[in-house]
Amino acid sequence: MPTFWLVALLLALSAAGFYGGRRRAIASAAGDVKDLHSLPSYYGYHVALAAFVPAIGALAIWLLAQPMFIETRVSGMIPAEAVPESSTIGLVMSDVRRVAEGLDLAVEQGRLTAREARNVANSGQDVRALMGEMGVALGDDVRPEVLTAAQAYRNLSKTGRTAMTVVVALLALGGFAWAYSRTHKDFRARNVVERAVLALLILAASLAILTTVGIVLSMLFETKNFFGLHSWTDFFFGSTWAPNFRGGSELSILPLLWGTLYISFIALAVAVPVGLFAAIYLSEYASGAVRSFAKPLLEILAGIPTIVYGLFALLTVGPALANLFAKGGLLGVEWMAGATSVLTAGLVMGIMLIPFVSSLSDDIINAVPQAMRDGSLGLGATKSETVRQVVMPAALPGIVGAVLLAASRAIGETMIVVMGAGAIAKFSANPLESMTTITTRIVSQLTGDTDFASPETLVAFALGLTLFVLTLGLNVLALYIVRKYREQYE
């Protein structure tokens, strides 16, 4: 039975469980709802959950485990000498899978009967041509070992699916029956449902955490592979970034890190003053009407996709800077070679970060108690003296936290630098030269035709992990500072 129908059936069964459970509970109290321990719908949910949750859990695990199980069984059937010199067992297995799926598809579309599909090896038919007709592309002719393995694959899958349907159906019916039999007016269905909700919440929380752990681990393994192929001293302490897919590349992170930090620095130099002043104006000076109008408007900036900022850098800011500083420009100097430069990317990224800084700072400034302002005004201080000498010092730790969060966003930003900063890795203090960043190099090392066994590709993971550690450190520091500050007024 297709999985879709299996799930639909489960849903139908649990819906029936809901109504059945509710009715039985009411009946057990002789129609008097006040006599029940819980509201009737809790009994319904209890039966519905018992029918649905174990069955769907088993289904999910089965769907994940079955391919792995079959894979190991079938790959054991392929003799080592059947794997061609230039290939790997993995590639052969993907052929096996494709042939097996192609045969299933052929049966489904009516090109072959189920019997013909089973005996396709003896019919002398050109399997590759048949697959081609259905849009399943194969690298070369289907060898007999692959065909045998594919048939075994089909058989195992079929048995597996049947077994899965039976197990899931049994679990669902069993759960239904068990919960239904327990439904009685004294049964504490409400508490059971409460625990189910708790389990759901825990599941959601642990999924998020496990995903993070999974991401870090996958990066860690690939990074380990990279350091197996390339020396770590060159990566961390070298001075040149020159990937060469013929080998012998120099892959140092330092020029990229320099570009990243330089661009982030310019971005913060733009975003922090503008964002902070905007926040001070909005929270301390603006009237309610201006504030309710200007704040959402400023926050629209935060909703613009970064790729649009990238376009802005590429089409507007870059050419405008080139008009000033490049050859034949208004200033008559020749400091800039093209439109892409550190300054272009930094300026646009700064604009992107303004709402981020202003909205965080605004919250922090608003958290400073009004009593502080009253105290200062009551001593005869003016508004700006109050802001400068009382509100700002009180809000400073929080604002530092906000700036650090903005910095970690700047370091991790990709699209703007891909489009605005250029692609040349170098150390230079001139903001009008184009440079490149860690994120852009990750993109360029992983796009296109890549070989996941070469250091030139794997370096992307080492770069990614370094970036991750960098931004994580900044975030932790920022959160620590913000939290410490919060305690002060509670």
Partner 1 sequence: MNDMTLMDNTVDTQKIKIAAKDVNVYYGDSHAIKDVNVEIEDKTVTAFIGPSGCGKSTFLRCLNRMNDTIDICRVKGDILLDGEDIYDKRVDPVQLRAKVGMVFQKPNPFPKSIYDNVAYGPRIHGLAKNKTELDEIVEKSLRRGAIWDEVKDRLDAPGTGLSGGQQQRLCIARAVATEPEVLLMDEPCSALDPIATAQVEELIDELRSQYSVVIVTHSMQQAARVSQKTAFFHLGNLVEFGPTGQIFTNPEDPRTESYITGRIG
Selected from 88, 217, 385, 480, the binder of partner 1 by CB under 8 A is 385
CA separation, residue 157 to residues 108, 121, 400, 403 (Å): 15, 19, 58, 55
369 near partner 1, rule: CB under 8 A: yes
Stretch that binds partner 1, among 324-332, 359-367, 369-377, 411-419 (CB under 8 A): 369-377
Q: Which is nearer to partner 1, 190 or 291 (CB)?
A: 291
In this structure, the number of other CB atoms found within 10 A of the CB of residue 380 comes to 7
Task: Determine the 3-state secondary structure of 6 from DSSP.
Answer: helix
CA separation, residue 293 to residues 126, 284, 298 (Å): 71, 15, 9
Q: Which is nearer to partner 1, 234 or 284 (CB)?
A: 284
Q: List b or e across 227-239, with b for residues whose CB sees 16 or more CB atoms inside 10 angstroms.
A: eeebeeebbeebe
194 near partner 1, rule: CB under 8 A: no
Q: Which is nearer to partner 1, 139 or 375 (CB)?
A: 375
**Cβ at position 382, least distance to partner 1 in Å:** 5
Stretch that binds partner 1, among 138-146, 148-156, 187-195, 384-392 (CB under 8 A): 384-392
294 near partner 1, rule: CB under 8 A: no
- Tokens encoding 464: 């990614």
378 near partner 1, rule: CB under 8 A: yes
Q: What span, in angstroms and rounded, lies between the C-alpha atoms of 450 and 443?
A: 12
377 near partner 1, rule: CB under 8 A: yes
Q: Which is nearer to partner 1, 166 or 379 (CB)?
A: 379
Selected from 108, 382, 452, 483, the binder of partner 1 by CB under 8 A is 382
Selected from 372, 423, 443, 477, the binder of partner 1 by CB under 8 A is 372
Selected from 72, 233, 287, 447, the binder of partner 1 by CB under 8 A is 287
Cβ within 8 Å of residue 126, ≥6 positions away: none
Q: Which is nearer to partner 1, 10 or 482 (CB)?
A: 482
Selected from 50, 93, 390, 399, the binder of partner 1 by CB under 8 A is 390
Q: Which is nearer to partner 1, 366 or 450 (CB)?
A: 366
What is the secondary structure of 184-249 as a DSSP string? -TTS-HHHHHHHHHHHHHHHHHHHHHHHHHHHHHHHHHHHHHHHHHS-HHHHHH---EE--TTS--
Inter-residue contact 407 to 346 (CB < 8 Å):
no
User: If binding means CB under 8 A, how many residues of this protein chain bind partner 1?
Assistant: 21
Task: Determine the 3-state secondary structure of 86 from DSSP.
Answer: coil
108 near partner 1, rule: CB under 8 A: no
393 near partner 1, rule: CB under 8 A: yes
Q: Which is nearer to partner 1, 31 or 380 (CB)?
A: 380
Q: Which is nearer to partner 1, 87 or 384 (CB)?
A: 384
Stretch that binds partner 1, among 25-33, 45-53, 330-338, 375-383 (CB under 8 A): 375-383
Closest CA to 415 of 432, 433, 439, 442: 439
CA angle, 99 as apex, 93 and 103 as ends, to 5°? 145
- Tokens encoding 173: 């019916």
Q: What span, in angstroms and rounded, lies between the C-alpha atoms of 444 and 453?
A: 16
**Cβ at position 483, least distance to partner 1 in Å:** 16
Stretch that binds partner 1, among 146-154, 306-314, 339-347, 379-387 (CB under 8 A): 379-387
The CB-based long-range contact list for 185-188 (8 Å cut-off, 24+ gap) reads 185/25, 185/28, 185/29, 185/35, 185/36, 185/37, 186/37, 187/25, 187/37, 187/38, 187/43, 187/46, 188/37, 188/38
290 near partner 1, rule: CB under 8 A: no
376 near partner 1, rule: CB under 8 A: yes
**Cβ at position 400, least distance to partner 1 in Å:** 14
| Residue 250 parent element (H or E) | strand 250-251
Kindly list the residues in this chain that would bind partner 1 in the complex (CB under 8 A): 287-288, 369, 371-382, 385, 389-390, 393-394, 488
